Amino acid sequence: MSRSDEERIQDILEISISLLKLVNQGQEFFLEDITHQWPVERALQNIGEACTKISDEVKAKYPDVDWKSILGMRTYLAHAYHRIDSDIVWRAASVSVPALVNALEHNS
């Protein structure tokens, strides 16, 4: 059974809010161990995957969301696993995800 666009938006919000709990532990914690980085990477990848299934109509309702960058991060994490830059991942998680949550919550 396929999920609706609204359900996918809700999925993105739920994943993002969980991800922010990890981000709140700080960059030092994140960099300390790969086992702290993997859940962040996986959450970002899941956000991107959910975005791939959202219709262009619904995406247009959220003009402040940089859909292309989200999809690019998903591709980067899925296919460049051997050369992932932790600074890029941290910036996405700590800067882009809060902006994403803000945009999705304020345009709902």
Q: Report pLDDT for 96.
A: 97
Q: Report pLDDT for 81.
A: 80
pLDDT at residue 108 tops 80: no
Q: How far, in Å, are 3, 8, 78 from residue 92 at the CA level?
A: 25, 20, 15
- How far apart are the C-alpha atoms of 79 and 98, rounded to whole Å? 24
Please, are residues 77 and 32 in contact by the beta-carbon 8 Å criterion?
no
Number of domains in the chain: 1
pLDDT tens, residue by residue, 41-85: 999 999 999 999 999 999 999 999 999 999 999 999 999 988 999
| Residues 6 or more apart in contact with residue 47 via CB below 8 angstroms | 12, 15, 16, 19, 70, 73, 74, 97, 100
Q: Report pLDDT for 59.
A: 97
Q: pTM (2 decimals)?
A: 0.94
- Identify the domain containing residue 83 by its residue range: 5-106
pLDDT tens, residue by residue, 11-35: 999 999 999 999 999 999 999 999 9
- How far apart are the C-alpha atoms of 32 and 89, rounded to whole Å? 14
